[in-house]
Amino acid sequence: MTRRTLGHARRSKDEDRRGTREHLLEAAGEVFAEKGFSGATAKEISERAKTNSAAVNYYFGGIEPLYAAVLEEAQNRVLSVQAIEKAIEGITDPKKRFEAIVGVVVQTLLGPVSSSWVLRVIARDMVTPSPTRDAVKERVILPRARLLRQFLGNLLRLPEDDPAVARACVTLMAPLFLLVLGDRRMLKRALPSLGLDADDAPALARHIARYALAGLEATGQDARKRR
């Protein structure tokens, strides 16, 4: 066998492994979304991925590391650092950057991801945290929370550890969490003119951003007076 043939064989094998891993990740996302961490089994996940029952251990080291990988993948799909960096590229005004970031997040939450397993996995884990969640928080959620504090602190012209900044984070996250946790069908019935489809994302994002910016300005002024 020639060196070129060996190299091709290795690449094909690596691609097969990546493909199997991705199939397992998607299948696991569906199972965890339907049954939660406690109700899922490696056997069912492997069957859905159309692979052997040892694949979960082989590729992920067990069902808990697999769950952590699924949760991390879900968080990355909802809050893509690459998508945000692209959206704010060339924008220097902090308020415009804020509007661009909110736009990316809302567009994602109202886009195709809303009908996949992604939001259901995140919602389940928010309500009933799994044993593996702390590791994911350390690696994915907490660094982004620090970036959010820094960003809002700059907008408020306050130190990021100021209580007003923490409260501002909660105020901003609340409507976004509603889009993750809320029953879309009931929201559409209760607020029929709201619009929760992908085409409605720009208008909703503008509203959330402008409403938040107005509140941030008032909060910042009040907090700075008390300092």
Question: For residues 63 and 42, is the Cβ–Cβ distance under 8 A?
Answer: yes
Which of 1-5, 89-93, 194-198 bottoms out in mean pLDDT, i.e. has the lowest? 1-5
Structure confidence at residue 2 (pLDDT)? 60
CA separation for the pair 215, 159 (Å, rounded): 17
Query: Among 205, 30, 206, 203, which Cα is nearest to 115's?
Result: 30
Domains annotated on the chain, with CATH = 3-61 (1.10.10.60), 75-226 (1.10.357.10)
Asked if 67 and 28 touch (Cβ cutoff 8 Å), the reply is: yes
Buried b (16+ CB within 10 A) or exposed e, 80-105: eeebbeebbeeeeeeeebbbbbbbbb
Average pLDDT of 35-64? Answer: 92
Asked whether residue 8 carries a pLDDT value surpassing 50, the answer given is: no
Quote the mean pLDDT of the chain. Answer: 87
Q: What is the pLDDT of residue 226?
A: 75
CA dist 48 to 30, 33, 51, Å?
9, 14, 8
The answer to whether 125 and 133 have CB atoms below 8 angstroms apart is yes
Separation between Cα atoms, residue 45 and residue 57, nearest integer Å: 12
Query: For residue 1, what are the CA distances in angstroms to 7, 9, 10?
Result: 10, 10, 12
Tell me the whole-structure pTM to 2 decimals: 0.82
pLDDT digit string, tens, across residues 98-146: 999 999 999 999 999 998 999 999 999 888 887 776 777 788 888 889 9
Q: What is the pLDDT of residues 143-191, one digit of tens each?
A: 889 989 999 999 999 999 999 999 999 999 999 999 999 999 999 999 9
Token code pair at residue 161: 């550890």
- Residue 11, pLDDT > 80, answer no
pLDDT tier at 13 (50, 70, 90 boundaries)? very low
- The predicted structure's pLDDT at residue 123: 92
- Position 167 scores a pLDDT of 92
Q: Tell me the Cα Rg of the chain.
A: 21
